[in-house]
């Protein structure tokens, strides 16, 4: 479901199985000035990056662009078509004794999709955890002029300035055809999860990523706990054949997921915060007891550390292997079952200010101890380290990425339990601390003015104009994200409830609860709430009445 709940439509879909077929498809579309977007095999991003403009556009699926073209052991590189999944890259590289050093934890992403949205794992070491920073060559098919028969294949590498635009492209430059990734010799890792109080989390978060190569942190703010992933590269001579098959990414019984969803809907309707807190503790304690899906030998978890090869530990997603069983099992968020339905707010905060941001969240928890129990039903806040990138739309400085999943109502006009606290966290991150939203996740409001945060945004737009002067690969949404058009936020009744807008005009806040806003005072802007700043407000009544 897109943030605005709209339905994306296209007139046609093409399924090229080779670069030559892709060239012919782009040429035909460019000749008729047809709007184009690229779709991938398993899923699409939360923002509307995949939607072509209007309803007469063309979708190009990379489902059949799924070949590993070359694995060069000597150069330690792999060249793949853009529809190859992360899982396939990992598996084929390991057969040659090589490894992609870092990448997302979910292996159902395609290489083209990862470059399109800046997907990453967790590390500040080496080139960092973003997959695009291991790309050494990109072949991209773009529209051409009539003298070029309406299509052009551009081969970019680190010696071309345009390469740094293509590394994180948002899909607006053309269709990525092939990517060459730099690999490393296959190595082993040692993983242990350590649970601690979150009393010093702000201090630890700023330094933990420098101490451990694959560090991340899972935070349960309502429980005042943090789970530190102590994860390092070790000698390949160390014994161990561990496997990471993350539980939430395994096949789920559809009926069980429906029960879980119905339970949370009931908690929301009854405003049952205690029920969410009990459920959150059950979820997190169960995941911890089973080491989140780690096993020492691929079968049994016998204790930490879990030692194994990179290809067996770095990523998972076995729910994609669910049997064709009439949807008895599947991935928990599959829209064909009545399972998970959530918002996903994900942003990176610079390490230089991350302590202050974490402390602000802790202040909110002190004021409302039950407010974030709902996050723990989704395993809390996942915090991953991301290094500054030379990609024009990559991370601007070393940062900590906060990935927050939480309940979304099937009714867009229904306020969520403790919605105001989550709104405040989102707005503090983006507006107070200058956080950068993940391009492939998030609700609309966090993209308001985002392009101004990228120092090389102007260079990216120059490459976009050069590659696609007619904007055939652009849409209203991408133009809005890139600051070329107004309208990232959508003003309609209830829009702030879904993160589509911010109440930015003068508002007389008539609070539904006394601590939300000061009665009778005019608040200038709803970007930051009164809990931490008495000059601003956010409250349910403001949202409903004004937005």
> Is the pLDDT confidence value at 390 over 60?
yes
150 CA to centre of own chain? 34
Q: What is the pLDDT of residues 321-356, one digit of tens each?
A: 988 899 999 999 998 889 999 999 999 999 999 999
- Nearest Cα to Cα of residue 5 among 362, 457, 495, 462: 495
| 59 bridge partner residues | 13, 37
Q: What is the pLDDT of residue 520?
A: 33
148-190 pLDDT per residue, tens: 999 999 999 999 999 999 999 999 999 999 999 999 999 999 9
Please give the pLDDT value at position 533: 46
Question: pLDDT by residue (tens digit) across 56-101?
Answer: 999 999 999 999 999 999 999 999 999 999 999 999 999 999 999 9
pLDDT, tens only, 344-389: 999 999 999 999 999 999 999 999 999 999 999 999 999 999 999 9
Please determine, for residue 506, whether its predicted confidence score (pLDDT) is greater than 50.
no
pLDDT of residue 511: 37
Cβ atoms of 319 and 249 closer than 8 Å: yes
The dihedral built from the CA positions of residue 441, 51, 486 and 386, taken in this order, carries a sign that is positive
- The C-alpha angle 223, 287, 265, rounded to 5 degrees, equals 70
Q: Judge whether residue 485 has pLDDT over 90.
A: yes
Average pLDDT for 313-324:
94
Residue 544 pLDDT: 37
Q: Are 260 and 327 in contact (CB under 8 A)?
A: no
- If phi over 0 gives left and psi between -120 and 50 gives alpha, with beta otherwise, what is residue 271? left
In this prediction, residue 309 has a pLDDT band, given cuts at 50, 70 and 90, of: very high
How many CB atoms neighbour CB 44 within 10 A? 17
39-55 pLDDT per residue, tens: 998 889 999 999 998 89
C-alpha distances (whole Å) from 228 to each of 104, 198, 384 are 18, 10, 11
Please count the CA atoms within 13 angstroms of the CA of 104 that sit on its side-chain side: 23
Residues of the chain above pLDDT 90, percent? 82
How does strand 98-99 pair with strand 184-185?
A: antiparallel
* Average pLDDT, integer, range 506-532: 37
Q: Phi and psi at residue 467, in whole multiples of 5°? A: -80, -35
- Pairing status of strand 188-197 against strand 225-234: antiparallel
In whole numbers, what is the pLDDT of the chain averaged over residues?
91
Q: Is residue 49 within 8 Å of 117, Cβ to Cβ?
A: yes
Confidence at residue 503, expressed as pLDDT on a 0 to 100 scale = 52
Question: For the range 284-292, what are the long-range contacts, defined as Cβ-Cβ under 8 Å and sequence gap of 24 or more?
Answer: 284/220, 284/223, 284/225, 284/376, 284/379, 284/380, 287/247, 287/379, 288/193, 288/195, 288/227, 290/247, 291/193, 292/193, 292/244, 292/246, 292/247
Render pLDDT for 400-455 as a digit per residue (tens, 0 to 9): 999 999 999 999 888 899 887 898 899 889 888 999 999 999 999 899 899 999 99
CA angle (48 as vertex; 449, 385 as ends), nearest 5 = 65
Structure tokens at 379: 């395993």
Q: Is the pLDDT of residue 294 over 60?
A: yes
Q: pTM for the full model?
A: 0.93
Three-state DSSP state, 86: helix
b/e string for 135-150 if b means 16 or more Cβ within 10 A?
Answer: bbbbbbbbbbeeeeeb
- The mean per-residue pLDDT over the stretch 519-527 comes to 36
pLDDT at position 502, please?
Answer: 65
Check residue 398 and give its pLDDT.
98
The Cα–Cα gap between 526 and 535 comes to 9
């Amino acid at each position: 479901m897109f943030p605005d709940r709209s339905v994306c439509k296209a007139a046609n879909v093409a399924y090229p199985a080779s670069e030559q077929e892709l060239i012919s498809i782009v040429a035909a579309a460019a000749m008729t000035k047809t709007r184009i977007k690229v779709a991938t095999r398993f899923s699409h991003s939360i923002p509307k990056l995949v939607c072509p403009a209007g309803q007469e556009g063309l979708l190009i699926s990379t489902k059949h662009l799924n070949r590993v073209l070359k694995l060069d052991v000597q150069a330690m590189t792999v060249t793949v078509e853009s529809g190859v999944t992360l899982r396939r890259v990992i598996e084929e590289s390991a057969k040659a004794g090589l490894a992609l050093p870092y990448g997302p934890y979910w292996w159902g992403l395609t290489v083209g999709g990862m470059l399109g949205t800046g997907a990453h794992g967790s590390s500040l070491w080496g080139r960092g955890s973003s997959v695009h920073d291991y790309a050494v060559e990109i072949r991209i098919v773009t529209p051409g002029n009539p003298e070029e028969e309406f299509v052009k294949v551009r081969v970019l590498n680190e010696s071309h300035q345009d390469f740094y635009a293509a590394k994180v492209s948002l899909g607006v430059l053309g269709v990525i055809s092939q990517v060459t990734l730099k690999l490393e010799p296959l190595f082993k890792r040692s993983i242990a999860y350590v649970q601690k109080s979150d009393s010093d989390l702000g201090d630890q978060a700023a330094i933990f990523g420098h101490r451990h190569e694959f560090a991340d942190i899972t935070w349960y703010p309502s429980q005042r706990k943090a789970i530190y992933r102590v994860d390092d590269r070790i000698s390949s001579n160390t014994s161990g054949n561990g496997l990471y098959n993350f539980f939430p990414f395994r096949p789920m019984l559809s009926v069980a997921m429906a029960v879980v969803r119905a339970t949370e809907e009931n908690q929301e309707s009854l405003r049952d915060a205690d029920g969410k807190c009990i459920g959150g503790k059950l979820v997190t304690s169960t995941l911890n007891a089973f080491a989140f899906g780690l096993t020492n030998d691929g079968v049994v978890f016998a204790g930490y550390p879990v030692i194994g090869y990179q290809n067996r530990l770095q990523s998972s997603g076995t729910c994609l292997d669910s049997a064709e069983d009439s949807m008895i099992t599947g991935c928990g968020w599959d829209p064909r079952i009545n399972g998970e339905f959530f918002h996903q707010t994900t942003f990176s905060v610079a390490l230089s200010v991350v302590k202050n941001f974490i402390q602000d969240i802790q202040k909110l928890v002190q004021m409302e101890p039950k407010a974030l129990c709902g996050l723990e039903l989704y395993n809390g806040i996942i915090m991953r380290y991301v290094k500054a990138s030379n990609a024009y739309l990559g991370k601007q400085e070393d940062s900590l990425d906060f990935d927050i999943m939480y309940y979304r109502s099937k009714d867009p006009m229904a306020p969520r339990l403790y919605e105001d606290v989550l709104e405040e966290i989102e707005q503090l991150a983006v507006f107070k601390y200058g956080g950068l939203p993940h391009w492939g996740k998030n609700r609309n409001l966090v993209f308001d003015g985002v392009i101004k945060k990228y120092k090389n945004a102007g260079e990216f737009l120059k490459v976009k104009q050069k590659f696609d002067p007619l904007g055939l690969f652009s849409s209203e949404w991408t133009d809005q994200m890139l600051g070329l058009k107004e309208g990232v936020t959508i003003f309609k009744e209830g829009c702030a409830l879904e993160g589509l807008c911010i109440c930015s005009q003068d508002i007389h806040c008539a609070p539904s609860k006394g601590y939300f806003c000061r009665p009778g005072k005019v608040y200038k802007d709803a970007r930051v709430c009164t809990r931490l700043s008495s000059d601003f407000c956010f409250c349910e009544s403001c949202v409903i009445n004004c937005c």
